[in-house]
Structures are given as structure tokens and as C-alpha cells.
């Protein structure tokens, strides 16, 4: 229940903030173009709160937080008094209308730059992209790429962290080949490896890009010393304690081999097992009955409800990414542009079929992402806000008539033809756009609910 409330609250904060930024972009430019704004609404439906400014604009917070709008004076929508005609949106030049409509997505991009700027100033410790293992018979195994190498570039795009490697690889889905530049840890000699990705397929919602290629990232060894115990778990009921070191299960040695421990426990759901535990220098025998849960493939497996400790990261495998006030500006623009480029590439590959529509996420997926990132701290939440802000801006630029991009398309046609698009054509376009948007939202929601069941 707490997880649901946390995710929901994080979702409301994130979406409310980004919608406000988007609509404020429209609002600010409309005011500069001398257009009368009648309402600035965050959310739809029943009004929860409203107030007015000195210009008579009504500011509203509504019940359903899945969007917002800026209502401007417009003869095409309502009757306009003679004295107010100079302030109507439809009476403005086509360039002014283009500026007002494009200001929303532009505001989202500017916010992403701001979020990345704050993130760069605060700084964050990342893990370097060190390869721990190449999975046999995988795509990566067909190249000469080996373990204990650091990936320094993907298709000549520099990569300092695993996050950058992941983003670079996601943008290459559907390509026939991928170039990976890597060097041995501690060496300056860089070698280039080419991976044949013509048969590369994976689902980003289930597995990372590098894992799907057969590249396993380095992680410190996970020990069988207990770091945390879940409340009301089989481990707590059996009397296990934090710092206990599990060395054997039913006579099978599992000392400092977390996967072996997990395997042994999973094989005995609901069955009594005996643990040999090192506590305060003494070996103790503890009887325990694992609980039962469903695995990803539908099997019944055992669990005991403990989290392990891990060895510390080697200092040479870590990198602190932090910049000064001036340098952070350029880096923030670079990261925002990288996200924008990746998003457009992904949309293009959705259209061509290189990326499956099963990877689309809706409000539930966004809520889970918001909750997870917020739980990790302000730096992760800022990164999440930047990502969603860029995506919100790009989605609104799609040439669907119900979105900002659709309006921009009509105004660009008007700019070059010298006359507005006929209202009947616009009406057909709005219906088509609404149908496509409804279809995409339905697919996204279906994907969200499908993932909840996994």
C-alpha cells in the first residue's frame, strides 16, 4: 500500500510540474503576443481550486491530473465582443500563432536543460562500463570483445557510464551492426569491435540493451552475509539476524555464493531446510521453512526474505560526474539534445516496426518510474523529470491534429499557402488524430497492466 501511495504521489508531483511548465510556455508567449488568456488549467474535470489574476485569467487546478490547457480568446470557439477582437488568438499573424503553439514543447525542452544543469552541479557517482563477462553464443560473443574491458564509445559516441552505453545502444535498435570501442582496464589502447545486430531483438521493459547482446556489466561480488531482513518473513520468524553469514544449506556449501543460496532456497518452497550460520564467530544451526511465490516463468519457488551485502566497488571502477556552473550549461544542453535525438529515433523505429509497440508505457509505467527514481533521491528524480519532460515535448510535436504538432502543421501550411486550411479538412484531421491518440493510449495502458501481472 505504501509503495502505491508513494508512486502515486511522485507521479502527481512529476506530471503536475511538467504539465505546468508546458502550459506556462503557451501562456507566457500568448501574453507577449497580446492574446487574452481566459483560463489556465492544470488537470481536467471538476475544479478543486481556482483564482484570478489582475488580467481576469482564471487559474484552475482540476481533479484529473492527466493534462492541462490554456484557453485563449478565439472567435472560432466563442462569440467575441467587438472591443476584444484585437486580443483574439485567431486574429494574430500566423507566425505569432506558431510561436504560441510551439512554446509548450519548447518549455519542456528548456526545463529538461534546467533539470540536467542542476543534476550536473550536484554531481553523481556512476559506475564505469566495465565488462564482467560475455555470454557464450550471444551476439557479443561473435566479436573479440572480452571481459575486463571498459567500453569507451558506441558507434564513436563517447560513453563514460553504463547509463550512456544503454542510451546509445537503445538508439541503435534495428541497425544491422553496432561498433563498440573498448580498452583493457588500466590501458590506453582502444580497440574497435563490430557486432552483427541484424538479428538483434529485445524488450527494453524486461532486459537491458547490453544484457540482450550478451554483455554482462561488472558488479561487486554478492556475499551471503545478511544486510536486511523483511518484516514477517520466514527469515525473521526463524530468528535470522542482520550480519549473519549463511555458509551451508542442508549440507550444501553456499558461502559467499549468493546465486547458489538463492537456488537452494528456491528448490524448497514450503519445506523445512537447515541453515549453517556464522554468528559472532560461532556456527549455529537454524531450521527454516521458505515461503512460496510464483517465479517469472510461473513456477512455485521458495524465498526467505533477506537481502545480501556486497563487496565494495573498486575505486578505479567508479567515476564522479560533476561540473562547475559554466561547464554544466554546455553539458546540460548536450544531455538534452541526446535525449531528444534518441526519442525521435525511437519514434521512427516504432513506425518502421524495428521497435515493438509492446515497449510503450502509459501513466502506470510513468508512476512506477516516478516512485522508483524519487526513492533513490533528488539526483535520480531530476534525471527522470528531464526524461519525461523531453518525451512530453516530443509527443506534443507529433503531427496529430489534436496535439500541438497538428496545429503547427496547419499553421505551416497556411504560412506557405497564404490561406488557412479549410475547416472541414481540420475537422477530419482532429477526428483522425483523436483516434490515433486513443489507440496509442489504449496500447500503453494494456502494456502497463500486462507488466503488473509479470
pLDDT per position as a tens digit, 248-288: 999 889 898 999 999 999 999 999 999 999 999 899 999 99
Check residues 302 and 372 and name the one with the higher pLDDT: 302
Taking phi first (over 0 means left), then psi (-120 to 50 degrees means alpha), and beta for anything else, what does residue 256 get?
left
Active-site residue set:
23
Q: In the predicted model, is pLDDT for residue 453 greater than 90?
A: no
Q: Which of 188-197, 283-292, 295-304 has the lowest mean pLDDT?
A: 295-304
Mean pLDDT, the chain, whole residue set: 84
If residue 430 lies in a helix (H) or strand (E), which one and from where to where? helix 423-452
Q: pLDDT tens-digit profile of 126-160?
A: 888 999 899 998 898 888 888 889 999 999 888 88
pLDDT at 356: 59
Check residues 11 and 429 and name the one with the higher pLDDT: 429
DSSP assignment string, 261-316: HHHHHHT-TTS-EEEEEEETTEEEEEEE--EEEE-TTS-EEEE--EEEEEPPPPGG
pLDDT at 365: 46
Task: Say if residues 270 and 290 touch (Cβ distance below 8 Å).
Answer: yes
What phi, psi does 223 have (nearest 5°)?
-95, 170
Q: How many CB atoms lie within 10 A of CB 188?
A: 6
Q: Collapsing DSSP states into helix, strand and coil, what is residue 178?
A: strand
Mean pLDDT across 228-244: 91
If residue 215 lies in a helix (H) or strand (E), which one and from where to where? strand 215-217
Q: pLDDT tens-digit profile of 14-39?
A: 888 889 999 999 999 999 999 999 99
Q: In the predicted model, is pLDDT for residue 206 greater than 70?
A: no
Q: In the predicted model, is pLDDT for residue 360 greater than 90?
A: no
The pLDDT > 90 percentage for the chain reads: 37
Q: How many CB atoms lie within 10 A of CB 444?
A: 19
Contacts of 80 (CB under 8 A, 6+ apart): 73, 74, 88
Mean pLDDT across 60-83: 87
For cell 515535448, the residue is 393
Residue 313 pLDDT class (50, 70, 90 cuts): confident
pLDDT at 57: 93
Q: Which domains does the chain have, with CATH numbers?
A: 124-219+312-321 (2.30.42.10), 222-311 (2.30.42.10)
Amino acid at each position: 500500500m505504501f509503495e502505491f501511495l508513494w508512486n502515486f504521489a511522485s507521479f502527481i508531483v512529476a506530471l503536475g510540474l511538467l504539465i505546468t511548465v508546458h502550459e506556462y510556455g503557451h501562456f507566457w508567449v500568448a501574453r507577449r503576443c497580446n492574446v487574452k488568456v481566459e483560463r489556465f488549467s492544470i488537470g481536467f474535470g471538476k475544479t478543486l481550486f481556482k483564482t484570478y489574476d489582475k488580467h481576469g485569467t482564471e487559474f484552475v487546478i482540476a481533479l484529473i491530473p492527466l493534462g492541462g490547457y490554456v484557453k485563449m480568446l478565439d472567435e472560432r470557439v466563442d462569440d467575441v465582443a467587438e472591443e476584444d477582437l484585437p486580443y483574439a488568438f485567431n486574429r494574430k499573424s500566423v507566425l505569432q500563432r506558431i510561436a504560441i503553439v510551439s512554446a509548450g514543447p519548447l518549455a519542456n525542452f528548456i526545463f529538461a536543460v534546467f533539470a540536467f544543469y542542476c543534476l550536473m552541479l550536484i554531481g553523481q557517482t556512476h559506475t564505469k562500463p566495465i565488462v564482467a563477462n560475455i555470454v557464450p553464443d550471444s551476439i557479443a560473443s561473435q566479436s573479440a570483445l572480452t571481459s575486463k574491458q571498459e567500453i569507451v564509445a558506441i558507434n564513436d559516441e563517447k560513453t563514460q557510464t553504463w547509463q550512456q552505453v544503454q542510451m546509445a545502444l537503445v538508439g541503435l535498435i534495428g541497425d544491422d551492426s553496432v561498433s563498440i570501442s573498448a580498452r583493457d582496464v588500466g590501458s590506453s589502447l582502444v580497440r574497435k569491435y563490430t557486432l552483427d545486430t541484424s538479428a538483434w531483438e529485445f524488450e527494453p521493459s524486461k532486459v537491458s540493451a547490453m544484457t540482450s547482446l550478451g554483455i554482462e556489466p561488472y558488479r561487486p561480488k554478492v556475499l551471503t552475509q545478511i544486510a536486511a531482513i523483511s518484516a514477517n518473513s520466514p527469515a525473521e520468524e526463524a530468528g535470522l539476524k542482520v550480519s549473519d553469514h549463511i555458509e551451508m544449506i542442508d549440507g550444501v556449501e553456499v558461502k559467499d555464493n549468493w546465486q547458489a543460496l538463492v537456488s537452494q532456497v528456491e528448490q524448497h518452497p514450503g519445506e523445512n531446510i537447515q541453515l549453517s550460520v556464522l554468528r559472532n564467530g560461532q556456527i549455529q544451526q537454524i531450521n527454516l521453512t521458505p515461503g512460496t511465490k510464483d517465479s517469472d516463468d510461473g513456477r512455485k519457488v521458495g524465498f526467505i526474505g533477506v537481502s545480501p551485502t556486497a563487496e565494495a566497488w573498486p575505486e578505479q571502477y567508479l567515476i564522479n560526474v560533476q561540473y562547475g556552473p559554466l561547464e554544466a550549461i554546455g553539458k546540460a544542453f548536450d544531455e538534452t539534445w541526446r535525449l531528444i535525438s534518441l526519442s525521435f529515433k525511437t519514434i521512427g523505429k516504432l513506425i518502421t516496426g524495428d521497435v515493438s509497440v509492446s515497449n510503450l508505457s502509459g501513466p502506470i509505467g510513468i508512476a512506477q518510474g516516478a516512485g522508483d527514481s524519487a526513492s533513490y533521491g533528488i539526483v535520480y528524480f531530476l534525471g527522470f523529470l528531464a526524461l519525461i519532460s523531453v518525451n512530453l515535448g516530443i509527443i506534443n510535436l507529433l503531427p496529430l491534429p489534436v496535439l500541438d504538432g497538428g496545429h503547427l502543421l496547419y499553421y505551416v501550411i497556411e504560412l506557405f499557402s497564404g490561406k488557412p486550411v479549410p475547416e472541414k479538412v481540420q475537422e477530419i484531421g482532429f477526428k483522425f488524430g483523436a483516434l490515433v491518440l486513443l489507440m496509442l493510449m489504449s496500447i500503453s495502458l494494456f502494456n502497463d497492466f500486462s507488466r503488473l501481472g509479470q
